[in-house]
Homo-oligomer: A and B are copies of this chain.
Amino acid sequence: MASDSRPRSAGDGRPRPATVPDDELARRVLNLVWRRRAVSRAEIARSTGRSRSTISEVVGRLLGTGLVAEVGAGESRGGRRPILVGFEDEAGVILGVDVGATHISVILTDLRGNTLAWRERSHPVRSDPKGAEALITGLGEACLAEWNGDRSRLMGIGVAVPSPVDPGSPDRVLERVLPAWRGHGVLDRLNSVFRVPVFVDNDANLGAVAERWWGEAVGIDDFVYLKVATGVGAGIMINGEIHRGATGVAGEIGHVAIDPNGPECVCGNRGCLATFVGTRQLVDRARSLLNSYPDSILAGTEPGIRAIEDAALADDPLALQVVNEAAVRLGIVVAGVLNLLNPGSVVLGGSLARAGDRLIRPLREAVATRTLVASAAASDIRTSDLGERAVALGAATHVLVAALANPRLFPGVIPA
């Protein structure tokens, strides 16, 4: 629905905005130019297997759209110097929205993932969906205002939600998790306010997209992104594409059982990962340890998750203990994922990723003792360095991915 709607960019009523590159070859060339940043026609011909004459014609059409431009001359390879063609990163902008459990953040990026503007606000999303709706459009407007560019260049909006998304109707958030967002609420609203296509996906999935394009997983086609924040979720990238599963709930690993004798979980089972790892659990655990660590920086305070992470970075023994315990629990699940999927990499995101090496080192240890196959154990495990903007960035990137796969989504800029 919303994601099907076409961009009604800057009321130009011409029958055809420009020579829209809707053919397969133009799409491939456009993607190649995006990836290589500066590449000659001859090089494109070699990469695609087409002749130089054909590529020359296609590039000519692409130049007309304003999405690519000649950007100077390259090094000679023994003959005439090539004319380099590059992608116009500023030809379009994208809004990315991260709807968390307790906050909303919005990012504005160009077509290279550069941040043009950024806004964040705490908000009780679950209890006040109406306010959340207004907040999203407000923050979006604020970002566009700060950027102060031509608004007709806005291509689309990506939205990350902390719940599974039905693959059949990607604009309909599962009511079970966000009941108030039922039906054609927020997303059609967004569409009608900004008049551009709106895409929705799960937050862990979009975090994985961000890592794949700008973070630790660039160039890796099979990896798993683990988001550890309020809850725990996984984004599974297989063959360069998000794996959603049969009903769209793939990656919901919060309720994988890791200890049959563990504490009871809200889901009715015992020893779920979610009963050990997650903002609420880590904070509770830290507070219960306060008496045992009288020398801790945190002693005498009522620490929040941020304080605990900061303390861990300062090598506070209490905080390190909490992080260590979480790492071991995560390690059990990561080991299972490695044994099952053999990903090329595992990237840890979410707020806990701030702990960096202090989280990764014990986690690697826990994994190493639980994986038989040497190559699986060799899979590298890293923390994300995209920070708190990762998910919003991934939401924006999702729109970019869609546009590169279907260039009609790009605005028909500079038609001359």
- Residues of A near any B CB (own CB < 8 A): 164, 176, 222, 234, 236, 238-239, 243-257, 259-260, 267-269, 272, 332, 335-337, 339-345, 369-376, 378-379
Copies held by the complex = 2
**Cα distance, A341 to B247, chains bound together (Å):** 10
**Cα distance, A269 to B340, chains bound together (Å):** 17
**Cα distance, A286 to B252, chains bound together (Å):** 36
Note all chain B residues with C-beta closer than 8 A to A245: 222, 341-344
The answer to whether A372 and B246 touch across the interface, beta carbons within 8 angstroms, is: no
A-B pairs with lowest CB-CB distance, top 9: A245-B342, A246-B344, A247-B375, A250-B342, A267-B372, A255-B372, A249-B373, A249-B342, A256-B336
Least CB separation from A345: chain B residue: B246
- Contact among B246, B342, B371, B378 with A255 in the assembled complex (CB-CB below 8 Å): B371
**Cα distance, A248 to B379, chains bound together (Å):** 12
What's the minimum C-beta distance from A242 to chain B, rounded to whole angstroms? Answer: 11
What's the minimum C-beta distance from A86 to chain B, rounded to whole angstroms? Answer: 32
- Contact among B222, B253, B373, B378 with A340 in the assembled complex (CB-CB below 8 Å): B253
The answer to whether B222 and A246 touch across the interface, beta carbons within 8 angstroms, is: yes
Given contacts A245-B222, A268-B369, contact A337 B339 (CB under 8 A): no
Most chain B beta carbons < 10 A, residue from A247, A256, A335, A341 = A341
The answer to whether B336 and A252 touch across the interface, beta carbons within 8 angstroms, is: no
The answer to whether A269 and B370 touch across the interface, beta carbons within 8 angstroms, is: yes
- Contact among B250, B267, B340 with A256 in the assembled complex (CB-CB below 8 Å): B340
The answer to whether B335 and A244 touch across the interface, beta carbons within 8 angstroms, is: no
Least CB separation from A223: chain B residue: B246
What's the minimum C-beta distance from A272 to chain B, rounded to whole angstroms? Answer: 8
Least CB separation from A243: chain B residue: B238
**Cα distance, A246 to B238, chains bound together (Å):** 10
Note all chain B residues with C-beta closer than 8 A to A248: 342, 375
What's the minimum C-beta distance from A169 to chain B, rounded to whole angstroms? Answer: 14
Least CB separation from A248: chain B residue: B342
The answer to whether B257 and A343 touch across the interface, beta carbons within 8 angstroms, is: no
Note all chain B residues with C-beta closer than 8 A to A339: 252-253, 255-256
Note all chain B residues with C-beta closer than 8 A to A375: 246-249
- Contact among B164, B246, B267, B373 with A343 in the assembled complex (CB-CB below 8 Å): B246
- For this complex, 6 residue pairs linking A to B, each with C-beta atoms less than 8 Å apart, are A176-B374, A238-B238, A245-B344, A246-B344, A272-B372, A336-B336
Note all chain B residues with C-beta closer than 8 A to A340: 234, 236, 250-251, 253, 256, 336-337, 340-341
- Contact among B236, B238, B252 with A373 in the assembled complex (CB-CB below 8 Å): B252
Least CB separation from A259: chain B residue: B260
What's the minimum C-beta distance from A173 to chain B, rounded to whole angstroms? Answer: 14
**Cα distance, A31 to B210, chains bound together (Å):** 37
What's the minimum C-beta distance from A263 to chain B, rounded to whole angstroms? Answer: 15
Note all chain B residues with C-beta closer than 8 A to A335: 256-257
The answer to whether A376 and B344 touch across the interface, beta carbons within 8 angstroms, is: no
The answer to whether A379 and B336 touch across the interface, beta carbons within 8 angstroms, is: no
What's the minimum C-beta distance from A327 to chain B, rounded to whole angstroms? Answer: 15
Note all chain B residues with C-beta closer than 8 A to A370: 255, 257, 269
Note all chain B residues with C-beta closer than 8 A to A257: 332, 335-336, 370
What's the minimum C-beta distance from A166 to chain B, rounded to whole angstroms? Answer: 9
**Cα distance, A374 to B379, chains bound together (Å):** 32
The answer to whether B267 and A341 touch across the interface, beta carbons within 8 angstroms, is: no
